[in-house]
Structure 1
Amino acid sequence: MKALVVLMFLCSIPLSANAGVYKWVNANGQTHFGDRPPAQATSSEVAVNAAPANADTGARERHQKMTEFLEQQQAERKARRAADAKAKEKAEKRADVCRKLRARLKYLASVSTFYDLNDQGERVFVSEAENTRIREDFREKVRSTCGNE
């Protein structure tokens, strides 16, 4: 009950706060307006029709919807840019890896034979079949990683 009385009181404040507006003309013929009548001149009270506080709720709703739409568009644009940047970075890394793999493949083609090191640190050359298998395995790795670009 007290809350209802307080609410009604608060709603009536803007109506009672609407002070009068006075109009008068000074000795030079200039028209003035004020919230208090002048002491030396005759004035008349002017009726001022204030716009209601909730004049256009539709406009506020449209503004709110437009703001939400623009924020959503901005978020989507930001997400798209981030995804594009990530995809570009991934493509650049892949291109770099493929460049290195192809250079290594070219080097392997120039090597006549491969070898392993034994426990004494001596070279032990592999067979020609093993050389062919090593090259073919690496070619397949390049194909699977980089495709036939």
Structure 2
Amino acid sequence: MIREGLLALLLATAVMPTAAEELYRWVDENGQVHFGDRPPGSVKAEDVGEELTPINSADPTQAVTTAQRNQSVDLERQYQQRQKQQQQRQQAQRTEACRRAKRDLSILRGPVILVDEYGQQIRLSERERQQKASALEQQIRQLCG
């Protein structure tokens, strides 16, 4: 169904004037993917117009070629691959932040002497140490699950 929608959109853009450079992709509440030249007001849409290469055709009634079908499949595959890479980067960042928070918490649980950027010792009261530890525990719950 996604390929059919993208294919219909590619065919429609093949006969549109070149001024129609904006193309939006969004998923409705039922999980169906839509494309259009204007974003919907109720759902977040992604501008994918720059990702498409123009299809020029002298005959707008020309049948869809295999190359055009393959191009639409490739565009969707590229989009899915970019989404997956972005999710992997975000997960790696969360994992690293989780690791740092756990390390910092383990340091705070032992005897602590903090040093500022000038090399001066910063004394923490037991109450301040516990507050910092509580904040790190909350951060760990958010980042590490």
TM category (shorter chain) comes to: 0.3 to 0.5
The structure carrying a bigger helix percent of its residues is 1
The TM-score normalised by the length of structure 2 is 0.46
Q: Higher RCO, 1 or 2 (CA under 8 Å, sep at least 6)?
A: 2
The TM-score normalised by the length of structure 1 is 0.45
Work out which of the two has the higher radius of gyration on C-alpha atoms and give 1 or 2: 1
